[in-house]
Amino acid sequence: MATAIFPGSFDPFTAGHEAILRRVLPLFDRVYVAVGVNSDKQYMFSVAERLDIIRRTLADCPTAEAVSYTGMTIDLCHQLGAGAIIRGIRTAKDFEYEQTIAAVNRLQDPSIETLLLLADPEHINISSTLERERLTHPCNCPTT
């Protein structure tokens, strides 16, 4: 059974995240959307809220499951029997960051592959940071 994890903070889970996930679902028997919890970070949404948003978004995807975790992503792969880590990239900066993380994960366990998927063009400008800004400071601009 081919299993992958799609890790992130998903604060919030965006249309870009959903698009990446839906693209990989046909490639695996099971994909875990793994909500990472870092006690040093401040989140807009609680873990329970993030999991709920993801579960509602993916209600039509029986092979996807939302879980939360702390610690190393590679340890979660071992716990869930995942042989792949899915990551989305929008920019060259994202690529450099993800390449470094993939190399570290590969040193820890060379049998677990990291798959980097390019964001769809319509999602390149979507980020959780910008979504939080939009939610925190809604535009009161006149519409035309």
Name 113's Cβ contacts closer than 8 Å, sequence gap at least 6.
83, 84, 85
Choosing from 50, 87, 123, 128, which is the catalytic residue?
128
Write down all domains in the chain, each with its CATH number in brackets: 3-136 (3.40.50.620)
| 96-123 confidence digits (pLDDT tens) | 999 999 999 999 999 999 999 999 877 6
Query: Would you call 73 helix, strand, or coil by DSSP?
Result: helix
Reply yes or no on whether the pLDDT at 129 is more than 70.
no
Tell me what pLDDT residue 138 has: 63
Tell me whether residue 128 is one of the annotated catalytic residues. yes
CA 22 to chain CA mean position, Å: 12
Tell me whether residue 93 is one of the annotated catalytic residues. no
Closest to 119 (Cα-Cα) out of 128, 108, 111: 128
Tell me what pLDDT residue 46 has: 92
Choosing from 22, 30, 90, 132, which is the catalytic residue?
90
Choosing from 41, 93, 111, 137, which is the catalytic residue?
41
Tell me whether residue 17 is one of the annotated catalytic residues. yes
Query: Would you call 142 helix, strand, or coil by DSSP?
Result: coil
Tell me whether residue 78 is one of the annotated catalytic residues. no
Tell me what pLDDT residue 70 has: 94
The model's pTM is 0.84
